[in-house]
Amino acid sequence: MKLLSAAAMEVTELPDWLAAGGGAALERAVSDPTGVIPEIEAAGLRGMGGAGFPAHRKWQAVAEQRAPQKWIICNGNEDEPGTFKDRYLLAHTPHQVIEGALIAAVATGATHVVLYANPHDEHTIPRLEAAVAQWRGHARFQRLAQVLPQPPELRVHATSGLYVGGEETGAIAAVTGGFPFPRHKPPWPAHDGVHGAPTLINNIETLALATHALRLGAEHFRALGRTAPGTKLYSLSGDILRPGLHELPMGTPLAELIDDHGGGMLGGRPFKAVFTGGPSNTLLTAADRDVALDFDSLRAHGSRLGTGAMIVIGEGTSIVRRTAEYIAFFANGSCGQCPPCKIGTHQAARILERIEEGAGQPGDLEALENLVAVLPGSGRCGLVDGAATVLASSLATFRHEYERAIDV
């Protein structure tokens, strides 16, 4: 993370990370364990996996528990279309993530830290294993025994790569040992997580940011953002000249992200919409070009920041085809526990595929609208809600494209 620390880019060796100023935040945590959570709260750090839930509240909830075991899951299941930030952090600069996880362990009294990482990128797991081995053998890691009964068990767990495995309770099921079936909440993970123990689950980017919030101090960290604290990794893709991962001040306006950092629309084509990460939210359209990309501003615009993925759509790209692709992704990702989700997402995907392939029928759009009306809230996790949201939004805003696809 360049804005936070130039040296945090592309550092895979622990000595390099420490030489560049890494480790200071962990030292601070070890010297003042009870001061960590107030500092994280003061920094305004929020969950970067999509929900934007204040990080300190999760940490506090686990810290308050009295239990022989406490777990931390560093959630790197990242699998959704258009999001590619966590895999970058894990494969290219894992130490800031691990340091953040160890800080959380100090603050919460965790006994186990699991780096729960998606193996789809072939580099992720080997590099993470190497990084973990470097920490385990290092004096700084052993020094955690000063504030914890012993240094936590630190290990890597390759995820199934399935979308539901990124849901908190799905991750708990996977780390406990099994298929990542999500379950109802409550009980909340802070009370009943891995093997029934209190469990903290944070996104990879959140943990990396925690390191920098503590290293820089809350005030400095907050000041890095524009409309909200800190920085954000925006995964920019689609019809723009320079797609890629951009770390920018939280609250950078959409137009600035596209035009200044993304080099503008590809080939100068007119802007149509943005699917935000991911992609499970209401589409942003031309009316939203000036919106600040932070959790609260986007919510006020009726959408969500999500993972910070911005899939930009220009003229010439079909909203129908993109939506069909994403709904098919959710249908394939549905674990099948909740019948409305399993049947509903598959039915929506089937109808969309039919429309996309020129076999749409009269009544198909009404059937889709009916589905998006009845499906939300019917699943144990948020999968079906996200699918319904993006489908409803795309139907409402670009209904003419659907009609045209059926018409031909």
Residues at the contact surface with another protein, assessed by CB under 8 A: 238-239, 241-243, 266-267, 315-318, 320-321, 325, 355-360, 401, 404-408
What minimum distance in Å lies between the beta carbon of 268 and another protein?
A: 8
Of 26 and 320, nearer to another protein (C-beta) is 320
Edge-first strand listing for the sheet containing 231-238: 244-249, 231-238, 309-314, 271-276, 284-285
Contacts of residue 177, Cβ cutoff 8 Å, sequence gap at least 6: none
What minimum distance in Å lies between the beta carbon of 318 and another protein?
A: 4
**Dist. CA 295–CA 53, nearest whole Å:** 10
| Residues forming beta bridges with residue 154, ordered by sequence position | 113
Q: Tally the C-alpha atoms within 13 A of residue 277's C-alpha that lie toward its C-beta.
A: 29
DSSP states along 248-272? EETT-BHHHIIIIIS-SBGGGPPEE
What minimum distance in Å lies between the beta carbon of 243 and another protein?
A: 8
Of 11 and 324, nearer to another protein (C-beta) is 324
What minimum distance in Å lies between the beta carbon of 398 and another protein?
A: 11
What minimum distance in Å lies between the beta carbon of 238 and another protein?
A: 8
Q: What is the largest CA-CA distance in the chain?
A: 71
Of 260 and 290, nearer to another protein (C-beta) is 260
Q: Please, what is the Cα angle at 203 between 180 and 150, to 5 degrees?
A: 90
Of 202 and 237, nearer to another protein (C-beta) is 237
What minimum distance in Å lies between the beta carbon of 277 and another protein?
A: 17
Of 139 and 408, nearer to another protein (C-beta) is 408
What minimum distance in Å lies between the beta carbon of 407 and another protein?
A: 7
Contacts of residue 49, Cβ cutoff 8 Å, sequence gap at least 6: 75, 166, 202, 203, 205, 206, 307
Q: Is-contact 236 243, C-beta < 8 A?
A: yes
Of 168 and 356, nearer to another protein (C-beta) is 356
Of 267 and 339, nearer to another protein (C-beta) is 267
**Dist. CA 89–CA 232, nearest whole Å:** 13
Helix axes 36-43, 204-216, angle to 10 degrees: 100
